[in-house]
Amino acid sequence: MVAREKLLERTAQLELVMKRRLGEIAARHPLVARVDGRGLHWTIELHGPDWRNWQADTLEPTLASRVAERALQAGALIGTSGEQTSLFLAPALIISDSELETLLAALDYGLDLPHSAAVEQCIKGAIA
């Protein structure tokens, strides 16, 4: 299946698309601290508290969860790690070009959170 469908070649092509598009998305959103990945597995780290100090002791949804919820409203499921600031993209190797664009557009939409005090604090903390 992998050889017949040329999935490795397709993944290499899509890696370039992901790298370019995620870089463009990150440049538009000051909430994004870092983007890293390979193939079709990517991590988007958001500015915010250090995960090593997070106690998960609040009922308030994390920043990553709020982004993922908005992305879901736009038609894509984006994973979080349970931490406050990490998002994960890992689409299937058989993703179509249009499905990938839907995923990336949903991430872009998700990152466009209304600027609440919590979002402002994360951005300020990253810049300070």
In the predicted structure, residue 108 carries a pLDDT above the cut 70: yes
Q: Which of 24-28, 51-55, 111-115, 121-125 has the highest mean pLDDT?
A: 24-28
Residue 6 has what pLDDT? 80
C-alpha dist (Å) from residue 86 to 5, 34, 80, 119? 32, 10, 6, 14
> What is the C-alpha separation between 50 and 55, in angstroms, rounded?
11
Lowest mean pLDDT among 5-9, 51-55, 105-109: 51-55
In this structure, the number of other CB atoms found within 10 A of the CB of residue 6 comes to 11
**Residues 28-81: pLDDT tens digits?**
999 999 999 999 999 999 988 776 676 666 667 788 999 999 999 999 999 998
Which two structure tokens, joined as six digits, stand for 24? 């463009």
pTM of the model: 0.84
